[in-house]
Structure 1
Amino acid sequence: MSFLNIDSVKSRTFDAIVIGSGISGGWAAKELCEKGLKTMVLERGRDVKHVTDYPTMMKNPWEFEHRGQVPFDIRNQYPKGRASFMREETLHWALKPDEQPFVEEKPFQWTRGYHVGGKSLLWARQTQRWSDLDFEGPKRDGFAVDWPIRYADLAPWYSHVEKFSGISGNKDNLPQLPDGEFLPPFEMSCVEDYFKNVLQKKYKNRSLIHGRCAHITEAKQIHFDQGRATCQNRNLCNRGCPYGGYFSSNTSTLPWAMKTGKMTLRPNSVVHSVIFDEKKNKATGVRIVDAISKEVIEYYAKVIFVNASALNSNLILLNSISNRFPNGIGNDSGTLGKYVAWHNYRGKLSADVEGFLDKKTDGKNPSNSYLPRFQNLYNQEKDYLRGYAVGVGSGRGLVQNRDGVGEELKANLLNPKLGNWYISTWMMGETVPIEKNHVRLHADLKDKYGIPQLITSVDWTENDDKMVLDYIKEMTEMFTLAGFKNIRGGDSHSNPGADIHEMGGVRMGKDPKTSMLNEWNQLHACKNVFVTDGACMTSTGTQNPSLTYMAFAARAADFAVKELKKRNL
């Protein structure tokens, strides 16, 4: 029997374990496998295979039984305010109501993607680099702690992931938004191009650009090697793309890792905790609960990457307790779960546009235009810290004539006319991490897997409120200068988390007394555990964060392999 036990442990032992198969987990898996490590990837949700498991990817609108709407009897099964993907074409991504309850000490919207590929199948695909303006922000502006890295440390890894993923954009030569390795950009609409020229004439530091996005606009050999093709501009991305036109773990990093013969993918694996060996003074594995059988299983490895998505990574580390770490693994600083932050999307503004009636859009654009941060760039000019970027979209819709009856009504409905142009904007503000915005484990409540429920305790601050007011003021001024009419919108007062960009709780820093991770995304107090998803973020910037997670994951994996070879882990 002892031999059977030895064989069982051997079959559950790997060089590396990656928790999570989303954007950052996929990159960690690719890099570790490419460098020769036998790697297990644990995903708490179901398996999703590229193309095979995209059930609505090619459906026409009339093929949906309820024309895209979700019937009330199904919609009402999901907790009010927590339901995501409530459309017929995306309902298969929705989290089952009993899958992971959590306690909202204050209102919070937590969007999750529990399936292989995670939110890489569901993201907005916007990919902007950070600059030193962002990495130096906490030190310069007196909030959070100083980042242990600067742009130069991450720049080559940005290039590394951009070339492989396929990022479209322009070389815009903006110091606050470094250029990258770009494929040709999508085209701005005539209204956006006009607005761009207005801003250039009226302001010194406001540049409307096309958003950098993870879409292949001109496939290179590296993309063909992945089995991917050029984006078809269908703009049906959240259904899953059969062409692999946008980057996801399912189309790119996971298949690449699988081709090495080094990856073992295990879906339906709910991670309970990281196992810490007090004699060896390091982590030795991961404890999971099989989502189907509820069996508790342990897997072992020399190095562990925690990429479960920010709040779940916090949950796992908080639940990883031992005599050495009674408050969560690596938590000597007492900061685990604290300084959680996100992005401020509360500001919205739109307007009607006169003219341009001789033009219309040709096809669909899966991206949008983007106005990089322009407030408080180098001087503290406003009564709030940091700033915001602005997303910009425009279009010209169809107007149906519902007059008449019978054949006349039918003819009117089948021959809609083009309406007028419109423009819409949304802010993406940087929230400042504060200690009281935190997550923690509930002392008594557990989920169906026996894992403590997460308590979210976060709220907006006065800084966020002032930022929204400034966005409304500045966008109103810009729209007025452009001659746009019927300007409308304001503060949506949405709950924190509505941006789906939760960050922090396991922040990076130079000082182990005030942070959890060092410059290589290693736990200060447990060197063979790495965290490279949103949980590692010290501050949030105004950029969409996924590209930075990818770069962190690739950089940390490269470092981990080198440290393993040196026998330092």
Structure 2
Amino acid sequence: MAGDTLNINNKAIAQNTFDAIVVGSGISGGWAAKELCEKGLKTLVLERGRYVEHIKDYTDTTKAPWELTHHGEKTVTDINNSPIQSKCYAYNEVSKHFFVNDLEHAYNQVKPFDWIRGDHVGGRSLMWGRQCYRWSDVDFSANAKDGHGVDWPIRYKDIAPWYDYVEPFVGISGSLENLPQLPDGKFLPPMEMNCLEKQVAERIKKNFSDGRTMIIGRTANHTVKVGDRGPCQYRNKCHEGCPFGGYFSSNSATLPAAARTGNMTLRPFSVVQEIIYDKETKKAKGVRIIDSETMQTIEYFAKIVFLNASTLGTAHILLNSVSDVFPEGLGNTSGQVGRNLMDHHYGVGAYGDTDDFADSYFFGRRANGIYIPRFRNINDATMQKDYVRGFGYQGGASRSRIEEIHEGGIGGDYKDSLTEPGKWTFGIGSWGEHLPYYDNKVTLNKDKKDKWGLPTLDIDCEFKENEKAMRKDMMNSAAEMLEKAGLKNIGTYDSAPAPGFCIHEMGTARMGKDPKTSVLDGNNQMHDVKNVFITDGACMASSACQNPSITYMALTARAANHAVDELKKGNL
């Protein structure tokens, strides 16, 4: 009997053994799959949620609002089932199936934290905001200069070739600006500013001597065809899935590239329970999953593991991967796993209107806006005494319709008024850097289990005094710029959303030079477990103020190249 059992196990191990395992199929997981498969590795991609097929599963996105049951709006039931997800700007009647049901995916808010998630093939790459901005040495050297966090083990020169590598495949439209704090990339033709945006851009440049400038957003919407994808149809319904492939997603780009190699095995409904550690080899030998449909536990084996489950998902897996060697979680001898959680703080800015351009309107629904790059704490001339780091702005100009009231909003006069354009308006909102604080953390709550029997996450994160001081400048500078640009009726706002709501969560398994204070080295390789690589948001040692996804992609391609080289050398 023992011999028979051994033979059965060996057969199962052989069937479940791959060269590489990628956990997660979102922005970074898709890139890991593409790179590893294209380099010849038989790769298993594990996704905790359902399968989503490009185009076929973008249900109802081609319908007009009046063809939808609720005209595109969220219902009371939606809000009750998903009180966190339904607050997201991208959540509506069509896109809601890309967001989790909060009641079924519980977590614990020690302090307010909005965890916006999508458990399906492609992850949040289907609903992301698509803004793509390189980081510069202003960002990679910030920790070393002001002492917050640990020094990055890389600089811009280390990642610049990998930005160059991923950008043409991603397909990013943008303009060349030669700004030291916001390096140019390999761009598709830029989208065009409308008439008011052009005027505001000119006046900002004219009225400020600190080098601030306003440019068109750099977005992964394709202004020309990229392979078989696009171009963008200017529908501005990207978060519902694009049947034209007009923007980059894992489903439209990286996963199909991986599949074309014949080396990818994609397994949905696979909730990763833990990474399996072999203390004899001092390496990970595979992962243990729970099939979310059958509740069966299955083990898969590989020479290398790429962990791309999202910042919080990756932290959960590491903390739950305990052994005699790592009683506090896999690769956690530094005690930094789950620590240093960051998100951008936003929801603050200004708005105004103008009587100019009364004879002009705009065409289409451009899926992009303007960007005002960081202009604080870049050099000696721009240093601030109240806070460190900086912020940027996104926004744009538009012109709405007049809605005059005629006898309760009925009749011919009322209908005619709806065809008349109102004033041009302009708004900008700011994204600010969140410092890496050790006590902003996630931990496992073993008393509260999820529906798979795994511990839930306690999330304890807040914005502190530096962020609060920065927000005052973020709001006041927005109003000042609009005023000097000639806008009228200027108003300001600060909605003070909780961390998480910007959906740029980072940290929890940071890169660093010293294994005593960091989890990963300069190649995104775990200090303690050399064949495990982490290239999602968990790896970030600071947050900068730019949207981070293109940096995740570049880091992933770079790490995959290093992993395969090390594998060939026999080091893994």
When normalised by structure 2's length, the TM-score is: 0.96
User: Match of 2:67?
Assistant: 63
User: Match of 1:17?
Assistant: 21
User: Match of 2:213?
Assistant: 207
Structure 1 position 480, deviation (Å): 1.3
Structure 1 position 3, deviation (Å): 2.9
**Residue of structure 1 aligned with 2:387, choices 362, 384, 399:** 384
Q: Is the 8 A contact 1:46 1:116 kept in 2?
A: yes
When normalised by structure 1's length, the TM-score is: 0.97
User: Match of 1:345?
Assistant: 346
1 CA distance for matches of 2:408 and 2:26?
A: 52
Q: Is the 8 A contact 1:504 1:534 kept in 2?
A: yes
**Residue of structure 2 aligned with 1:181, choices 186, 203, 209:** 186
User: Match of 1:505?
Assistant: 508
Describe the superposition over 1:307-348 as per-residue Cα deviations: whole angstroms up to 9, x where unpaired: 001011011111111101110111111111111111010312
Question: Which deviates the most, 386-395 or 442-451?
Answer: 442-451
Q: Is the 8 A contact 2:48 2:270 kept in 1?
A: yes
**Residue of structure 2 aligned with 1:154, choices 135, 152, 159:** 159
User: Alpha carbon RMSD of aligned pairs, Å?
Assistant: 1.6
Question: Which deviates the most, 88-97 or 512-521?
Answer: 88-97
Question: SS where residue 254 of structure 1 aligns?
Answer: helix
Correspondences of 1:331-342 after superposition (within 5 Å): 331-342=332-343
Structure 1 pair 543–73 and aligned structure 2 pair: CA distance change class (3 A):
closer
Correspondences of 1:39-188 after superposition (within 5 Å): 39-79=43-83, 84=88, 86-188=91-193
Q: Is the 8 A contact 1:402 1:413 kept in 2?
A: no
Amino acid at match of 1:482: A
Describe the superposition over 1:130-154 as per-residue Cα deviations: whole angstroms up to 9, x where unpaired: 1111000111111111000000100
2 CA distance for matches of 1:9 and 1:561?
A: 22
Structure 1 pair 80–343 and aligned structure 2 pair: CA distance change class (3 A):
closer
Describe the superposition over 1:62-107 as per-residue Cα deviations: whole angstroms up to 9, x where unpaired: 1111112222234323346775454212121221234321110001
Amino acid at match of 1:180: G
Q: Is the 8 A contact 2:85 2:100 kept in 1?
A: no
Structure 1 pair 64–376 and aligned structure 2 pair: CA distance change class (3 A):
same
Describe the superposition over 1:97-138 as per-residue Cα deviations: whole angstroms up to 9, x where unpaired: 343211100010000111100000000000000111100011
User: Match of 1:6?
Assistant: 10
Correspondences of 1:124-523 after superposition (within 5 Å): 124-204=129-209, 205-219=211-225, 223-224=226-227, 227-379=228-380, 380-403=383-406, 408-409=411-412, 412=415, 416-523=419-526
Question: Which deviates the most, 15-24 or 380-389?
Answer: 380-389
Q: Is the 8 A contact 1:375 1:382 kept in 2?
A: no
Structure 1 position 489, deviation (Å): 2.5
Structure 1 pair 86–410 and aligned structure 2 pair: CA distance change class (3 A):
farther
2 CA distance for matches of 1:406 and 1:264?
A: 57
Question: SS where residue 395 of structure 1 aligns?
Answer: strand
Q: Is the 8 A contact 2:26 2:121 kept in 1?
A: yes
Aligned residues: 564
2 CA distance for matches of 1:97 and 1:562?
A: 41
2 CA distance for matches of 1:451 and 1:33?
A: 31
Identity of aligned residues (%): 49
Q: Is the 8 A contact 2:164 2:185 kept in 1?
A: yes
Structure 1 position 401, deviation (Å): 4.0
Say if 2:29 is the partner of 1:28.
no
Q: Is the 8 A contact 1:348 1:492 kept in 2?
A: no
Amino acid at match of 1:349: A
1 CA distance for matches of 2:308 and 2:413?
A: 53
Q: Is the 8 A contact 1:368 1:392 kept in 2?
A: yes
2 CA distance for matches of 1:128 and 1:73?
A: 37
Which structure 2 residue ranges, 5 or more long, are not aligned? none
Q: Is the 8 A contact 2:346 2:496 kept in 1?
A: no
Question: Which deviates the most, 104-113 or 86-95?
Answer: 86-95
1 CA distance for matches of 2:525 and 2:388?
A: 29
Q: Is the 8 A contact 2:341 2:505 kept in 1?
A: yes
Question: SS where residue 558 of structure 1 aligns?
Answer: helix
Amino acid at match of 1:131: S
2 CA distance for matches of 1:194 and 1:269?
A: 52
1 CA distance for matches of 2:439 and 2:418?
A: 56
Structure 1 pair 235–86 and aligned structure 2 pair: CA distance change class (3 A):
closer
Question: SS where residue 411 of structure 2 aligns?
Answer: helix
Amino acid at match of 1:366: A
Structure 1 position 408, deviation (Å): 3.5
Question: Which deviates the most, 406-415 or 201-210?
Answer: 406-415
Structure 1 pair 413–97 and aligned structure 2 pair: CA distance change class (3 A):
farther
Question: SS where residue 465 of structure 1 aligns?
Answer: helix
Amino acid at match of 1:218: V
Question: SS where residue 530 of structure 2 aligns?
Answer: strand
Structure 1 position 185, deviation (Å): 0.5
Question: SS where residue 252 of structure 1 aligns?
Answer: helix
1 CA distance for matches of 2:394 and 2:467?
A: 18
Describe the superposition over 1:269-296 as per-residue Cα deviations: whole angstroms up to 9, x where unpaired: 0111111011111100011111111111
2 CA distance for matches of 1:506 and 1:407?
A: 58
Q: Is the 8 A contact 2:85 2:117 kept in 1?
A: no
Q: Is the 8 A contact 1:270 1:288 kept in 2?
A: yes
Which structure 1 residue ranges, 5 or more long, are not aligned? none
2 CA distance for matches of 1:413 and 1:13?
A: 67
Question: Which deviates the most, 366-375 or 471-480?
Answer: 471-480
2 CA distance for matches of 1:32 and 1:86?
A: 33
2 CA distance for matches of 1:426 and 1:407?
A: 35
Structure 1 position 405, deviation (Å): 8.3
Structure 1 pair 73–187 and aligned structure 2 pair: CA distance change class (3 A):
same
Q: Is the 8 A contact 2:520 2:526 kept in 1?
A: yes
Amino acid at match of 1:164: F
Question: Which deviates the most, 84-93 or 314-323?
Answer: 84-93
